[in-house]
Chain A
């Protein structure tokens, strides 16, 4: 698998670097300067083959203040937050949390998201929880498949699951939706939500 070489990413400085590093650290509750680039994280990441930057390279970009570059990569979307890396990091850095922070920044700055299917998937799951407070897998899966335009790509496994009673036709719903609404409104007010991508 061809990796892009972060040394080829031109260092661009516009005076905002330090602030962006601070924001990333704050959102992730981490301190990227603790990373000594030992590569343990990348060595153990089960998805490294499918990433364009290795996890340690993403962190390196943040260290260098190149957050605006880091938020463009596929890696932050491929990362599933499995914590294989942070369990082994000698400096106890929560790498997954840094990916979370960069993902948020990518959405907020409206950069082009290279893994559209993954982002769309997250949005449908979000929608399902938004509507009923619980996740209805059937609903989310159907919407996702319609959205990708590859309706029949996974139909066999879908039918298998339906037959074994693994997908519910009638969505469950929580009773006190007032609390749920309060949670959702609170966070909607505080950020520019997904609008940049819709």
Chain B
């Protein structure tokens, strides 16, 4: 091949600000296998959707390890915690997800998310008021990161003041989800840091969880540790790995959706204006963002447990599979004018939250947070504009988003 492999181009930091031309090229070979023992890259909307519903495609970390992935399998089983349900197959996945859901949504906690609407608005107001007299901010550090972190902490029942402490553990864990990190010379270092971080985070949470077991409060940690439904109780270890999962997922994805959202709106000011006039438009804007700039760009942790055929290509049993959600989201086979940001499109659908049994557990929360965040920013910032376009990005190719987003504005409303 004359140029770098597609896999390298996807992980190549130089393409981070705009990976979409790479995805376009990728879609020309919708089932791509570049290296022996390397993953199969799937990039068409319909294929990804089908594979996310295919009972021969496993998320089990153990299968992935067997498939020879040296970078990805380490995150979860090490650090003394069992894999979370993100990395498990049925029936274990289903059981743990059901119990977790009992602490999160209907039918047991139908109002847990909706009832936080007021609190979310307060947090947003406080953060925006906090911009004070400044006429330029970094949206990431001053808004998009602290907002969802505060929310997930309250939801779980983790004291917000401990955030700096566990941030030092969350960061290396998230970095280890990046398929690129494991490949360098400092591979073992990375893994060691991630493993230690996971253990530390687990120990920190263990203390809180024990407290909640003794004295339950109105929060998710209490519900998780005290649940005694038809599926029985979670073991202590299961409670911990579930909490770690929720904490990380609640940390590192919504920040990117909010930041990508403001970036995209500032590049399409007519929608920013319309959103200011009609906060109801935030629903469609958020869905279209999940299609157009999905915070989770690809799902690199699947293996197939039998031979499967996709578009005439046989993917042999035991192969690793990357589902490139962001490529499928702009597949012209599925979407008209896919490269256009268009919240008015009649049939906004996307793979931004995945699909099938692992489809995003936190989706209702992430949606609500981002709807509130974007409509409030649109309403309150006077004449906002980008300081730098494109902004600097984070290293991570999977959880992709700007590291900083400078926004200048004339005042607060």
Q: Do A and B come from one complex?
A: no
